[in-house]
Amino acid sequence: MNVITIILYSLCAGITIPIGSVLAAQSKKMGNLTTRSLVAHWVTAFGGGVLVAAVAFVLAPRAVENLSPLLLAISFLAGGVCLFFLDRSVERAGGRVAQLVSMLMDYLPEALSLGAVFARHHDVALLLAIFIGLQNLPEAFNAHDDLIESGMTKKQSYIILFPLSVIGIIAALVGYWTLSQHTGIVAFIMGFASGGILYLMFQDIAPLSHMPAKWIPALGATIGFIFGMMGEKFIG
């Protein structure tokens, strides 16, 4: 029964990846370029708000609670440095897959954590699944756009993005079967994901959400964070 529940949780967290990519494809059909751009920037800001909430309410608190100060600092720094080098590698290669790489860098550690914490804290696992699903939607939206702009067709983008929801299920099951008794390792993974997300926020998401002479997109970050707070209030 636990395995089935984990599969359902991780499926709900991952299903927003294909939904986000489909929404991105449909947004291209909007006739007004300004409206389409406004939607894309708002979605990006919303995802940023959700990511900050995930760090503030789920990931960082568990890392702080279960790691020594030294390991806590190392885990956060490792996540940020890892994203930094991946970001640089993608840029040097001239590709536009930064959003895809960034999504995987926070999605997979969080999916591992989801499965690992499920054994002891079902409510935390549910909250984490909600956060993952909310953040995957805008990240997949932007990753689809990146892949299209790098020269791929819509079908090729779907082929890359759609299977990621299944990878999340596998990661959650691996976390449940191998890490549920290793609180310290799970906390380190959460710290690692937090450090990577914070780097991602200031390097990519916040700049991408800004539009000159437009103020509505920034409200998306506030609304995204509200979603996170409500999840913590009612489930956490």
1 three-class SS:
coil
* Pairwise CA distance, residues 97 & 159, whole Å: 15
* Pairwise CA distance, residues 164 & 158, whole Å: 10
Amino acid symbol at 215: W
User: Could you state, in chain order, the average pLDDT of each consecutive group of 10 residues for the chain (236 residues)?
Assistant: 87 90 80 70 81 85 91 93 81 65 78 85 84 85 83 86 88 90 89 87 71 69 80 68
Tokens standing for residue 196: 């990577």
Phi, psi of 100 (to 5 degrees): -65, -45
Contacts of 163 (CB under 8 A, 6+ apart): none
80 three-class SS:
helix
Q: For the chain, where are the alpha helices, taking DSSP H only?
A: 2-14, 16-27, 33-54, 60-66, 69-93, 98-118, 122-149, 154-161, 164-179, 183-200, 206-209, 216-234
In the chain, DSSP assigns E strands to none
Other Cβ atoms less than 10 A from the Cβ of 155: the count is 8
* Pairwise CA distance, residues 221 & 223, whole Å: 5
Tokens 């390792």 -> residue: 185
Tokens 């995802």 -> residue: 47
Q: What is the pLDDT of residue 71?
A: 95
* Residues belonging to the chain: 236
